[in-house]
Amino acid sequence: MFQRKLLLVFTLLTVLAMGMALPVAGQDMATSVECGADGYVGNLQSIEVLDDMTVKFTLCNPDPAFGSKAAFNAFPIQSSEYLESTGGGGDLVRSPIGTGPYRLQNWDLGNEMVLTRFDDYWGEPAREETVILRWNSEAAARLVELQAGNIDGMAGVGTGDFEVVEADPNLTLIPGAITNVFYLGLNNTKPPLDNVMVRQAIAHALDRQRIVDNFYPEGSVVATQFMPPVLFGYTDEVEPLEFNVELANQMLDEAGFPRGDNGVRFELPLNYRDVVRVYLPTPGIVGADIQAQLAEVGIQLNIEQMESGAFLDASDAGELSVYLLGWGMDYPDATNFLDFHFGGGASDQFGTKFDEIIGPLNVGAQSGDVDVRYQAYIEANTALRDLVPMVPVAHGTSGDAWNARVDGAYAAAVGTTKFALMEDTEDDNIIYMQNAEPISLYCADETDGETFRACGQISESLLDYEPETGEVVPALATSWEVNDDATEWTFTLREGVMFHDGTTLDAGDVYNSYMAWWDASSPYHVGRDGNFTYFSAFFGGFLNAPATE
């Protein structure tokens, strides 16, 4: 408590001494906290500016994925001057000033957003002068707009419209990267799921190929592991449990669950929420198919649909037995999938946690050595297969559709698609229709993909993802160094990067941006509504977080 107060006093004195102004590069910029002290649960220990173009982050616990996280859209670097003049909210939220290839020209709320090329962009200039973002929540209506020629591209082709787009010579279908998983959750505290043979039998009884073939759009694949194949943490060496109804029946018999007179061995509820996601485009139908498949081996599932929020709360609390759920990637690393679900800090959604899984996951999460990590994930994936806390079913895909005349159209493997790489060969703008209007343009305080897509054209993070592969690549930082145990990350910034208002990027901007998110007592910790959800989720918590009742 003493240190926390000391830090508060220090912060207040600093702010008062500077007349509420943010520090600038050259002034002393360093903030640190004692890990675990006074209720601090975050993983960020300190941020310090080493010189005008160098920033160092120190972590409480190793995090080899810190670079991946720093590349995420939710951490856009802001100009210190603009951050200060807007007070961390207000115009920062509606009219941001970033370093990206496009800047905001006009946001006609409710109708459209117009972006224009930033001529002083540090990288390759945007190919098109103007990008216009529009929105309509109905995939069919977006497709009609595209077919009418009023827009150049659209997000999220409807599951039933893939063939329509492919058959139209004027259109191009761009399948999205497969970075999600749909699974059948099995809670090992709910009998008879406490018997590992029962869980294994369920895995053997499921014909996952049938589900993917019948209920997923073209390009989706069967999930053989929890990790999608394109991401680090997927291990070819681990074979999945095969589809074998005969073996499933045999295992259930051996486990002591013979069929009754009506052919049923036991009954269980099957819970799901009727929310469409890329990983589960038709929840009700897939649930019914799984019910039918498991009925073949004498397991009667009674389907119960739940409201989304109540469903998530119940699954997190370990209250559900069998349920349909999935996960979409935030950043391309195994920790985002495996640790979140099966690590020591995971929720109780699968029941009692397994040391056989937590052990290798800890090794993988605390080493900066790729080979060591890979071996750990082989072990973790093997344990996941054998202990069956869930059955991975499918990796779904979505698809964008573009007018064929647009050159360079692609779908980002990770992060947001960058319109700066595209060109409409017939006019000087790209008109793109997405699912919904961005909520704001300050993505540090947002969580939805539509907002990230807009922010991603205007603002940039320290690092970025390579458009096709998703590999972490330099952006505002040209290079970064990490120590052996992945607790110290030092970023060297790019020289000559200009913000849209003409100011130049330096280490002070990085420091002040991160401090505004990290320090809940900062006068600039404002945003749109001050939640900074992703910062808290990725880095464990805020500095000086107010106590809640």
Partner 1 sequence: MSNFLVRRLVSSIPVLFGILLVTFVLNRSIPGDPCRAVLGERATAAICDAYMERYGLNEPIPVQFVYYLRNVLQGDLGTSLRFGRTVTELLAERLPVTIELAICALFVAVIAGIPLGILSAYRRNSAVDVSTMLFANVGVSMPVFWLGLMLAYFFGVILKDTVFALPPSGRLTAGANPTPFFIAWGVIDDPRQASNLLLFLSRFNILNAILTLNVNLFLDAARHLLLPAVAVGTIPLAIVARMTRSSLLDALGQDYTRTARAKGLRELAVVVRHAVRNSLLPVVTIIGLSFGGLVSGAVLTETIFGFSGIGRTLVDGITARDYTLVQGVTLVTAVTFVVINLIVDILYGYLDPRIRLS
Interacting residues with partner 1 (CB under 8 A)? 41, 93-94, 106, 108-112, 114, 130, 132, 134-138, 140-141, 144-145, 147-151, 306-313, 330, 429, 431, 437, 439-440, 447-448, 528-531, 533-534, 536-537, 541, 545-546, 548-549
Within 10 angstroms of residue 119's Cβ, the number of other Cβ atoms is 11
Distance in Å, CB of 344 to partner 1, minimum: 16
Return the structure tokens found at 314: 């119940």
Q: Which is nearer to partner 1, 83 or 139 (CB)?
A: 139
Distance in Å, CB of 425 to partner 1, minimum: 18
Distance in Å, CB of 533 to partner 1, minimum: 5
Distance in Å, CB of 207 to partner 1, minimum: 28
Q: Which is nearer to partner 1, 387 or 430 (CB)?
A: 430
Within 10 angstroms of residue 149's Cβ, the number of other Cβ atoms is 12
Distance in Å, CB of 336 to partner 1, minimum: 10
Distance in Å, CB of 317 to partner 1, minimum: 11
Query: What backbone phi and psi angles, to 5 degrees, belong to 491?
Result: -110, 130
Distance in Å, CB of 431 to partner 1, minimum: 5
Q: Which is nearer to partner 1, 35 or 41 (CB)?
A: 41
d(CA 328, CA 178): 9
Q: Provide the b/e sequence for 65-102 (b: ≥16 CB within 10 Å).
A: bbbbbbbbbbbbbbbbbbbbebebbeebbebbbbbbbb
CB 257 within 8 A of CB 272: no
Distance in Å, CB of 485 to partner 1, minimum: 25
d(CA 291, CA 469): 37
Q: Which is nearer to partner 1, 206 or 324 (CB)?
A: 324
What 3-state class would DSSP assign to 434?
A: strand
CB 485 within 8 A of CB 58: no
Q: Which is nearer to partner 1, 93 or 387 (CB)?
A: 93
Side-by-side strand order, sheet with 390-395? 221-222, 390-395, 180-186, 322-328, 266-273, 299-306
Q: Which is nearer to partner 1, 23 or 153 (CB)?
A: 153
Return the structure tokens found at 243: 């589809």
Q: Which is nearer to partner 1, 311 or 480 (CB)?
A: 311
What 3-state class would DSSP assign to 299?
A: strand
Helix and strand numbers, DSSP H then E, in the chain: 18, 22
DSSP letter string, 217-256: -TT-EE-SSSS-TTSBTB-TT-PPPP--HHHHHHHHHHTT
Distance in Å, CB of 468 to partner 1, minimum: 26
The beta strand positions in 35-137, using DSSP E, are 44-51, 54-59, 102-108, 112-117, 130-135
In total, the chain counts a number of residues equal to 549
Q: Which is nearer to partner 1, 13 or 140 (CB)?
A: 140
Return the structure tokens found at 273: 């929420």
Give bridge partners of residue 131 from the DSSP assignment.
115, 430
d(CA 377, CA 362): 10
The end-to-end CA distance of the chain, in Å, is 18
Distance in Å, CB of 39 to partner 1, minimum: 10
Can you tell me which residue has the tokens 């951490």? 75
CA-wise closest residue to 99 among 452, 508, 496, 479: 496
Q: Which is nearer to partner 1, 158 or 287 (CB)?
A: 158
Distance in Å, CB of 372 to partner 1, minimum: 28
Return the structure tokens found at 358: 């937590």
Distance in Å, CB of 375 to partner 1, minimum: 29
Within 10 angstroms of residue 527's Cβ, the number of other Cβ atoms is 22
Q: Which is nearer to partner 1, 64 or 158 (CB)?
A: 158
What 3-state class would DSSP assign to 16?
A: helix
Q: Which is nearer to partner 1, 425 or 548 (CB)?
A: 548
Distance in Å, CB of 273 to partner 1, minimum: 9
Q: Which is nearer to partner 1, 27 or 137 (CB)?
A: 137
CA-wise closest residue to 470 among 153, 173, 65: 65
Residue 90: alpha-carbon gap to chain centroid: 26
Q: Which is nearer to partner 1, 326 or 467 (CB)?
A: 326
Interior angle at CA 172, CA 182 and CA 411, nearest 5: 50
Q: Which is nearer to partner 1, 100 or 527 (CB)?
A: 527
Distance in Å, CB of 302 to partner 1, minimum: 19
